[in-house]
Structure 1
Amino acid sequence: MAVGLTACGGGNEPSKAAGESAKASNEPAKQTQASASKYPEKPFIVVAPSGAGGGWDKTARSLTKVLAETKLVDQTMTVENKPGGGGAVYMAEYATQETKNPYKLFVSSPPIVINNLKKEGNSPFGYKDTTPLAQLTKDYGAIVVKADSGYNDVTSLLNDLKADPKKLTIAGGSAPGSMDHLIAVLPAYKFGIDPKALKYVSYDGGGEAIAALLGGNADVIATDVSSVSEYLKAGKVKVLAVTSTERLSGDLKDVPTLKESGVDAEFTIWRGIFGPKEMSADELAYWERTLKALSETEEWKKELQANAWESQYKSSTDFVKFLGEQELLIKDLLTALNMSK
């Protein structure tokens, strides 16, 4: 099942040539846009609808940093964290209060679809209440335990859960029925365990879930690969399995996929950027040009590598089509888990 700040925050300074090249490649587009519209005329806010440290937060900060470094956006871009309900709280605010504000964008991923389809704690708002601007990356889920855990493979963990579903506390950075929960319960469901019997504790964002694991308040967490890679490098956690179709590279090259572990399940986490529902054609065209140019810069490619993300750019039109397909797939999964509204 494939479900796919003001600029700062470390990283190497880009070369002057690279920055000028990126700016030059966007210059004709800027000139054309300027003749039709004065947008943008003031600073932008990019919202990560979660706490600091998770995938949304990292994506928003990487995006704004590279857009500033490459001069693709001349206006200041600030990241704001708006946690709550696995993204549902901010989605409600955005869909009702920011429908005509093209200077406030936000980052999201499958929860924007999941929250709108699940039975409990669902959101009346979803991607159709926004203007999807572009998909930027894809990531995968990971089943993670502390470095000193007695579990060294996901099969042993699932066998214990099958014998006693309440034996372990499973944590995730999203509400029940949302993305981290689905990453946690999908392998259990495919292993013949009743997902409703599992002891799942939700946190606002992957960073809080990892803190719960390291603090001894959870035995295992389900999260995204990019959120856990730095803790793996530091020797603080073990990754038992990933939800990709094939083994990943780099620090995760020795981690088996769920399918390798005998569990017929996979889960792709896409990430994209969204604007308000009532964007003008000029405003949408500006972001289509800018985000396409971003995806082709060396600075962005380095940022992807640093965060263990894979590039997967989709234009606004292709992104909307993809989201419609995802809606059907996620609804099928939630229905199978008796979590669909």
Structure 2
Amino acid sequence: MRRDTFLKSMAVMAAAGALPLTARASVNLKMMIPANPGGGWDGTGRALGKALIDAKLAETVQYDNKGGAAGVIGLAQFVNSSKGDPNALMVMGAVMLGGIITGKPAISLDKATPIARLTSEYNVFVVPADSPFKTMKDVVAQMQKDPGSVKWGGGSRGSTEHICASMLATKVNVDPKKVNYVAFRGGGEATAAILGGNVSVGGSGYSEFAEYIAAGKMRPIGVTSEKRLPGINIPTMKEQGYDVVLGNWRGVYGAPGITAEQRAALTDLIVKVSKTKGWAEALEKNGWTPALLTGKAFDDFVDSDFASLRGIMHLSGMLS
């Protein structure tokens, strides 16, 4: 093929949106982060964007934070504003699934395009450094005495930390409907509330609390993993006698209405960035476990997790 003919065909493909993202002259991504700054989704989205730019897989990444309702408000904005946009991505995860189950929004996740699961982590529960609660057993004892006196702080209603607090209540014979859960629109707000003593117990991924734990401003009292996290000396809920095991995960979706080729190009972009030094450093820094899953396997995983979370939330009294 003559060079001028080749270039013309490439231009036609690019105009049609069929040219793979990584083959275009520049990739300018738009990243919807359906939470306020300072939380896990925000950290994930910005770390992903930085890794893409550092690896020269994207020229620019534009971030848009829109918090509230476990990501459902941001999801609605993403679906309505990015139809057919092959350069749009949205951070999401298990928390959004919980928010959809509890909130039953008009716009659900099936309107967007699945791309990949990125990471997995477990919830860590912490108390302020000067809290009278020294262990999870202290928290449980107070819950059994007066459930409303223990304020649990975390992400939106239906988040994994909310589910875990309700699971714990059922395990210790406390009515889960009496769990005093305070929902925040982002990890930054929740962290401020914990540090300020406005909630009794806070929950989120370890990455959000690590610096405050290291500085002695928060005391970790439990993690929802099956076994202790590597290199992190926090007792599991299970080893303390409470069968509360629940993982959190985060991923990305593409815009509604993109073609199969455009979805494949975005997926290829995520697979490539997952192998970069920048992303590996982000995983290590934040204590995230790599959990890449794409294609039909990711589609099936999301369907399965929806079903699993519904079951857990029903048994925990959150849906009745």
In the aligned structure 2, how far is the partner of 1:189 from the partner of 1:210? 26
Distance 1:242 1:38, change over 3 A: closer
- Distance verdict in 2 for CA 1:245–1:154, change over 3 Å: same
The corresponding residue for 2:47 is 62
Aligned residue pairs: how many? 304
* Structure 2 residue 255 is matched with structure 1 residue 276: yes
Residue 255, structure 1, aligned to residue 246, structure 2: no
- Equivalent AA in structure 1 for residue 309 of structure 2: I
C-alpha separation between the residues in 2 aligned to 1:234 and 1:225?
A: 14
Shift of 1:36: 4.9
User: What secondary structure sits across from 1:166 in the alignment?
Assistant: helix
**Within 2, Cα distance between the matches of 1:281 and 1:264?**
42
Q: Which amino acid aligns with 2:38?
A: G
Please give the secondary structure, in 1, of the residue aligned with 2:149: coil
Contact 1:51 1:207 in 2 (8 A): yes
Q: Cα RMSD between the aligned structures?
A: 2.0
Could you report, residue by residue, the CA deviation over 1:160-202 in whole angstroms, capped at 9, with x for unpaired residues?
Answer: 1011101222211212x33331132222222221111121111
* Amino acid aligned to 1:211: A
1:303 aligns with 2:282: yes
Distance in 2, matches of 1:69 and 1:179, equals: 32
Letter of the structure 1 residue corresponding to residue 53 of structure 2? A
Deviation at 1:211, TM superposition (A): 0.4
Listed one character per residue, the Cα deviations across residues 79-108 of structure 1 (whole Å, up to 9, x for unaligned) are: 221112221111122233323222221101
Distance 2:227 2:202 in 1: 21
Q: Distance in 2 between matches of 1:36 and 1:320?
A: 22
- In the alignment, structure 1 residue 106 sits paired with structure 2 residue 90: yes
Task: In structure 1, give the amino acid aligned to 2:69.
Answer: G
Q: State the distance in 2 between where 1:62 and 1:107 align.
A: 11
Structure 2 residue 143 is matched with structure 1 residue 161:
yes
Residue 54 of structure 1 contacts residue 207 of structure 1 at CA under 8 Å; is this kept in 2?
yes
Residue 38 of structure 1: CA displacement? 6.5
Q: Would the aligned equivalents of 2:32 and 2:66 in 1 still touch at CA under 8 Å?
A: yes
CA contact (8 A) 1:243 1:258 kept: yes
Q: Which runs of 5+ in 1 are unaligned?
A: 1-29
* 1:141 matched residue in structure 2: 123
Are the structure 2 counterparts of residues 78 and 96 from structure 1 closer, same or farther at C-alpha, using a change threshold of 3 Å?
A: closer
Mapped to 2, the partners of 1:318 and 1:138 lie a distance apart of 16
Question: Do the aligned residues in 2 keep the contact of 1:151 with 1:157 (CA within 8 Å)?
Answer: yes
Q: TM (normalized to structure 2)?
A: 0.89
Change (3 A) 1:42 1:315: closer
Amino acid at match of 1:310: T
- The one of 188, 197, 219 equivalent to 2:200 is 219
Per the TM alignment, residue 240 of structure 1 is displaced from its structure 2 partner at its CA by 0.3
Q: Stretches of 4+ moved more than 4 A in 1? A: 33-36, 38-42
Partner of 2:73 in structure 1?
89
Cα separation, partners in 2 of 1:42 and 1:293, compared to 1, 3 Å: closer
Asked if structure 2 preserves the Cα contact closer than 8 Å seen for 1:140 and 1:224, the reply is yes
Tell me the residue number matched to 1:123: 105
Q: Is the aligned partner of 1:37 residue 2:22?
A: no
Identity among equivalent positions (%) equals: 32
Q: Is the 8 A contact 1:109 1:269 kept in 2?
A: yes
What is aligned with 2:191? 210
Instruction: Find the counterpart in structure 2 of residue 324 from structure 1.
Output: 303
